[in-house]
Structure 1
Amino acid sequence: MSGVDRLLFPPPAEDHVVVERKQTDRVCPQCGSADVRRYPVANFIGPRMVTKCQDCFHHLSVDVPAEDDHWPPWRSPTIDWDGSRAG
């Protein structure tokens, strides 16, 4: 980690880092639970939004984050721009 990275992304001050898991109106097809939540994850294929049952941990969906998801927090504002020949 470089010195610039430490200035931009300092270590968290909290003992525990918590991600908000937003309740959905979906029902788990595996166990029938109504406790299905959507939240961001760091996946091996990049940032994703997962919709997952909180009782049996069944994945209902894994999606590419939409603009209103604000994930990841360091996401480039030009992520959806078309590339140019200059790079």
Structure 2
Amino acid sequence: MSGVDRLLFPAPKEATISVERKLVDQKCSACGSADVRRYPVANFIGPRMVTKCQDCFHHLAVDVPALEDHWPPWRSATLDWEPSRAG
């Protein structure tokens, strides 16, 4: 890890790291539970937002993060810009 990386992403002070799992207004299609939440994950195909039942762990949706999701935190500010002819 370089010095710049440590300035931008310092080592966590907490013993564990967690993300907020936001409750969504949906019912699980597999078990009928109302405890369905949406949260960010690091997937093998890149960063994604998952909507998942917290009782039976059934996936209801896996989406590409929108700008308002702020995921991943190191996402490029120019990610959605159209490329120029210069490259």
Tell me the TM-score range normalised by the shorter chain.
Answer: over 0.9
Q: How does 1:21-36 map to 2 (within 5 A)?
A: 21-36=21-36
CA distance in 2, matches of 1:67, 1:20: 17
- Structure 1, unaligned stretches of length 5 or more? none
Count of paired positions: 87
Correspondence for 1:64: 64
Distance apart, 1:75 and its partner CA: 1.3
Local SS of the residue matching 2:68: helix
CA distance in 2, matches of 1:76, 1:61: 24
- Correspondence for 1:15: 15
Q: Once the two structures are aligned, what percentage of the paired residues are identical?
A: 78
* Structure 1: 4+ residue segments shifted above 2 A: none
Q: Distance in 2 between matches of 1:3 and 1:38?
A: 34
Cα distance in 2, alignment partners of residues 46 and 67 from structure 1: 15
- Residue number in structure 2 paired with 1:3: 3
C-alpha RMSD over aligned residues: 0.9
Task: Calculate the TM-score normalised by the size of structure 2.
Answer: 0.93
User: Unaligned stretches of 5+ in structure 2?
Assistant: none
